[in-house]
Homo-oligomer: A and B are copies of this chain.
Amino acid sequence: MKMFDKVAIVGTGLIGGSIALAIKKKNLCRQVIGISLHKKSLTLAKRIGAVDIGSLSLSAIKDADLVILAMPVSSIISLAPEISGLIKKNCLVFDVGSTKAKIVSKLSGLFPFFVGTHPLAGSEKRGIINACPDLFHNSLCIITPVNNTAAAAVAKVKKLWSFLGAKTIVMNPLQHDRILGFISHLPHVAAFSLMNSVPEEFLKFSPVSFKEATRVAASDSALWADIIIDNRENVLNAIKELQKNMNDIKSAIKKNNPAELARIFQKAKIRRGSLK
């Protein structure tokens, strides 16, 4: 079923490339146009059939009836004014940035039909080379409309994400950023910190548990610096909570009190057990 005629995806990395592959697989539009700063990414996107046309220039979005912004958070914000001057009237626009408050606040004023979204998929890997049409299968995609978001635009974006395999959930952008600060940005900060804490000569003994705990420390540094700076107040608040909880453990250890320590661990165990 064709939902769109031309879809333009700005940023053909892991997420943009996977959306392109999924749209192609589901036959949801006539043509996919990929825009990237990197010629190699476009060449590969064409070779694997993710896009029909690749362009190094933003102007290629001009005839699209859907534009998907799949760049790093700071590029979405910085390129939005230029993009808003290029798109055709009635063009639907959504982004896939990992933070929502600033993006939605800025882009809602620039585009008549803009919807903020955040697919909770992806990995520490990046680039079209790791793209996969099934990346969003059984994942959660958070949709963050605001008061002036057109209801028809929200409905269409939700429908598209459902076709891509994601379960959608609607949430306020501020609440999104508060939650993600805890469940995504904080674990990244913890993984980066853990990785930097261990003396290098000990790393060769790492058990599976350490590798798992630090997997996301292999994520792209600039991309994550960007996300965390964008959401800094929530992340600082989440770090404060983590430090408080770590200090409670430290204090029980210092008191040489295994029962108190076991109580703290048991609370964590019960919470962990509630995760599906």
Contacts and interface: CB of A to CB of B under 8 A. Distances in A.
A213 B190 contact: yes
Given A210-B187, A224-B265, A197 B253 contact: no
A203 B271 contact: yes
Interface stretch (A36-44, A101-109, A240-248): A240-248
A217 B187 contact: no
A212 interface: yes
A123 B226 CA distance: 34
B183 A203 contact: yes
Given A209-B215, A236-B250, A272-B217, A183 B195 contact: no
Interface stretch (A4-12, A75-83, A86-94, A256-264): A256-264
Contact of A193 (B195, B236, B242, B262): B242
A186 B195 CA distance: 11
Contacts of A120: 205, 207
Nearest to A244: B197
B236 A254 contact: yes
A151 interface: no
A78 B228 CA distance: 48
A196 B269 CA distance: 9
Interface of A: 74, 120-121, 123, 140, 142, 169, 179-180, 182-184, 186-200, 202-203, 205-222, 224-226, 228-229, 232, 235-236, 238-239, 241-246, 248-250, 253-254, 256-259, 261-269, 271-275
20 contacts: A74-B258, A120-B205, A142-B205, A182-B199, A183-B205, A184-B209, A187-B210, A188-B209, A191-B268, A195-B271, A195-B272, A197-B245, A212-B215, A214-B272, A218-B272, A221-B266, A222-B258, A224-B265, A232-B253, A243-B243
